[in-house]
Amino acid sequence: MYYNILVARPFDQVFTYESDDQTLEVGQIVIVPFGKAMEVGMIMQSDVSKPDYTIKKIETIIKGIQLKEINIKFLKWVSDYTLAPIGSVLKLFTINKDIITYKRDDKIVSEATFKSTILNDEQNKAKEDIIKIQKSSHKPVVLEGVTGSGKTEVYFDLIEQEINQSKQILIMVPEISLTPQFENRFKERFGMDINIWHSKITPKKRKEIWHKCYAGEPIVVIGARSSLFLPFTNLGLTVIDEEHDSSYKQEDNIRYQARDLAVVKANFEKNKLILASATPSLETINNINHKKYHHVFLSKQYSGLPLPQISLVDLSKNKLEKNQWISALLKKEIEKCLSNKEQALIFLNRRGYSPLSLCVECGYRHQCAQCSSWLVMHQQKKRLLCHQCGSIEEMSFNCPKCLAKDSIKFIGPGVERIAEELTQSFPDKVISVMSSDLINSPKKIKELIDKFSNKEIDIIVATQIMAKGYDFPNLSLVGVIDADAGLFGGDMRAIEKTYNMLQQVSGRAGRSQQTGNVIIQTYYPEQPIIQSLQQRDRTSFVQQALLEREQFNIPPFGFMTSIIISGPSKGNVEKISQQLVYFRKYSEEFSILGPVEAPINLLKGQFRYRILLKGKSRKNLNIFTKKMVSSVKIPSAVRVVIDVDPYTFM
């Protein structure tokens, strides 16, 4: 019999194969010869006509693994929405043939021993409200709460109910840096191991988790974006923690927003879904306003303490000393905090020591040879690093252009430079840096978090990796070095991201033992965003931001698609870009902006152009985009990437 098979490769078509087995069904997983390799495939249609060319035979039939009709429906939806080849989407589900062909050891079920917790009245009401909502509605529930309000404990109680019914649970987090502390909290609460799913787990663990999910065994998974595609067959509840976080957007290969896909998947499967955040995204708030999502709110900290006081330091009046970036007022507050045996978090969302290396004699700047970006000095690693492609150069204080000795000066601070300044001011204190350059594995993250929790560190200097999800009882002071970074620029989400990040990092202070204190350094204290943050008037900020987006017909009031064209020849890339936008003559319904050179116009040796499409219907915009791209013959040396609902514009 002949079968049409979808192969887990970047193709938008099926391929016909032959098998002596006439009982194979749609959704069954097989291994087939494809080119010179063996690939995972899925049967899409059985008993098809024999084509008039030589047909290869199915190599292996994977017994007992078959995607359900609802899984195939979701797979097709993801492909249609993201405009990614459906074969690439299948690979998200099946991953590789090692996982598919894995033979499991004996099943070991981890027994839960629940530790009872006491919710306050507001938490109890939130829990009961969610239970009531989920009995009668399949719409997502947004669990919003001020930082420190105990959102996690609320959904932990809901997870307990699912575990008691032997259901599967998925908890998604935006970054693996959040998993070590979360894992500890989960184990303390439930007395059982949680299964961690991200790119750095061992191949054996990956296989075990995948097959447990497929077998429908009771399992709790905490995972990053890709955990959404695990083959759960008995899923009771999905929680998207920090739902606002832009890390849920996949920026490589297939570009998708995991939170949004989780909403669609839960709707298809009629499963329970909770979106948790102290700062829900504007898209989520708009869905609440239009009754597409339910909303439950926690207004107070669980500790009963008032929210941290937020004070502004006007740097235009409180001048910084030469080559220093911490104001006298902030240093005074740090000193007070440390004298009370408390801990401080100093926040700057800039990795490395200095973002710019400049020759004071000739003006030469260290720039990456592969990218249109400056090299960043990393003092601890004694090197210059490109944050775009990872290129490394040895650090030298002599200018490579004019050959002047000791002429290279470092302009501006990164977290390492702030830590150096703090060490000079507080030489007897333990100061550590937390950034993805230095803390780049789950083990290192856990070690640093444990040290800070155990009061072995007095001051931690951190990037956004520390801005969310963490709970440190003895942390009483948060200092923000540069609140203005991110408030200006062409990214439509820049202001929202900055506001959320500052509100989140402010919420790390004073969560349990003492009222927190937040000091924000800014050159623009009268800027509406900064004022809204200080006064904790998030409602006004959200209303104004939504109004502005509506005026310009941008998400969530319109739809956008980016097309990124790249290649080693700038002329070829520009030529293809111009040919693509020639298709605009067929469009009256859509706006086509560009082509323009991308802000990072050279990346990893590839020249880059961008086109932005805007429209009022996602379906129509996707149809137009496909026609537009297919209207041009793309040479093999040029790469065209379609980014539906873009989050970055670099």
111 lies in some domain: no
What is the predicted pLDDT for the residue at 606? 95
Whether residues 579 and 533 fall in one domain = no
> How many structural domains compose the chain?
5
Whether residues 341 and 361 fall in one domain = no
Handedness of CA 151, 152, 156, 162 (dihedral sign): positive
What is the predicted pLDDT for the residue at 469? 66
Q: Which of 493, 527, 547 is the last residue of a domain?
A: 547
Other C-beta atoms closer than 10 Å to the C-beta of 254 total: 16
Give residue-wise pLDDT tens across range 230-258: 999 999 999 999 999 999 999 988 999 99
191 lies in some domain: yes
532 lies in some domain: yes
CATH number at residue 632: 3.30.70.600
pLDDT confidence bin for 442, thresholds 50/70/90? confident
pLDDT confidence bin for 490, thresholds 50/70/90? low
Give residue-wise pLDDT tens across range 63-87: 999 999 999 999 999 999 999 999 9
Task: Over range 509-516, report the average pLDDT.
Answer: 74
Whether residues 229 and 139 fall in one domain = yes
CA proximity to 566, closest of 643, 633, 625, 637: 637
pLDDT confidence bin for 412, thresholds 50/70/90? very high
Cα–Cα distance between 447 and 176 in angstroms, integer?
14
What is the predicted pLDDT for the residue at 198? 86
Cα–Cα distance between 625 and 614 in angstroms, integer?
10
Domain span at residue 68 reads 2-100
What is the predicted pLDDT for the residue at 236? 96
CA proximity to 514, closest of 300, 207, 307: 307
Q: Which of 106-115, 188-197, 598-607, 616-625 has the lowest mean pLDDT?
A: 106-115
Q: What is the DSSP letter of 367?
A: B
Other C-beta atoms closer than 10 Å to the C-beta of 260 total: 17
Whether residues 475 and 530 fall in one domain = yes
pLDDT confidence bin for 226, thresholds 50/70/90? very high
Percentage of the chain beyond pLDDT 90 is 73
Q: Which of 7-16, 107-116, 422-431, 482-491 has the lowest mean pLDDT?
A: 107-116
pLDDT confidence bin for 464, thresholds 50/70/90? confident
User: Which strand (E) or helix (H) includes residue 285?
Assistant: helix 282-289
CATH number at residue 41: 3.40.1440.60
Q: Which of 150-159, 230-239, 362-371, 488-497 has the lowest mean pLDDT?
A: 488-497
109 lies in some domain: no
What is the predicted pLDDT for the residue at 468? 66
399 lies in some domain: yes
Give residue-wise pLDDT tens across range 143-201: 999 988 999 999 999 999 999 999 999 999 988 766 777 888 888 899 888 899 988 88
475 lies in some domain: yes
**264 or 64: which carries more pLDDT confidence?**
264
Task: Over range 506-514, report the average pLDDT.
Answer: 74
Whether residues 229 and 360 fall in one domain = no
Whether residues 225 and 368 fall in one domain = no
| 313 has a pLDDT exceeding 90 | yes
Task: Over range 337-365, report the average pLDDT.
Answer: 93
Whether residues 245 and 271 fall in one domain = yes
Residue 551, classified by CB atoms within 10 Å of its CB into exposed (0-12), middle (13-18) or buried (19+), is exposed
Whether residues 396 and 540 fall in one domain = no
Give residue-wise pLDDT tens across range 291-310: 999 999 999 988 888 888 89
| 440 has a pLDDT exceeding 90 | no
Furthest CA-CA distance within the chain: 84
Q: Which of 313-327, 340-354, 490-504, 562-576 has the lowest mean pLDDT?
A: 490-504
Region of residue 538 (left: phi > 0; alpha: psi -120 to 50; beta: else): alpha
519 lies in some domain: yes
| 530 has a pLDDT exceeding 80 | yes
Give residue-wise pLDDT tens across range 94-121: 888 899 999 887 666 666 778 878 899 9
Whether residues 598 and 456 fall in one domain = no
Whole-number mean pLDDT of the chain? 91
571 lies in some domain: yes
Q: In 455-569, where does DSSP find H-type helix?
A: 494-506, 528-534, 538-551
CATH number at residue 196: 3.40.50.300
What is the predicted pLDDT for the residue at 430? 97
Q: Which of 412, 433, 450 is the last residue of a domain?
A: 412
pLDDT confidence bin for 449, thresholds 50/70/90? confident
Whether residues 404 and 256 fall in one domain = no
Task: Over range 390-419, report the average pLDDT.
Answer: 92
What is the predicted pLDDT for the residue at 361? 94
Whether residues 320 and 250 fall in one domain = no
Task: Over range 28-46, report the average pLDDT.
Answer: 95
What is the predicted pLDDT for the residue at 32? 97
> Long-range contacts for 420-424 (Cβ within 8 Å, ≥24 apart)?
420/353, 420/379, 421/324, 421/325, 421/326, 422/326, 422/334, 422/346, 422/459, 422/461
| 92 has a pLDDT exceeding 90 | yes
* Residue spans of beta strands (DSSP E) within 429-502: 431-434, 459-462, 475-480
Cα–Cα distance between 287 and 279 in angstroms, integer?
14
Whether residues 565 and 483 fall in one domain = no
Q: Which of 412, 437, 452 is the last residue of a domain?
A: 412
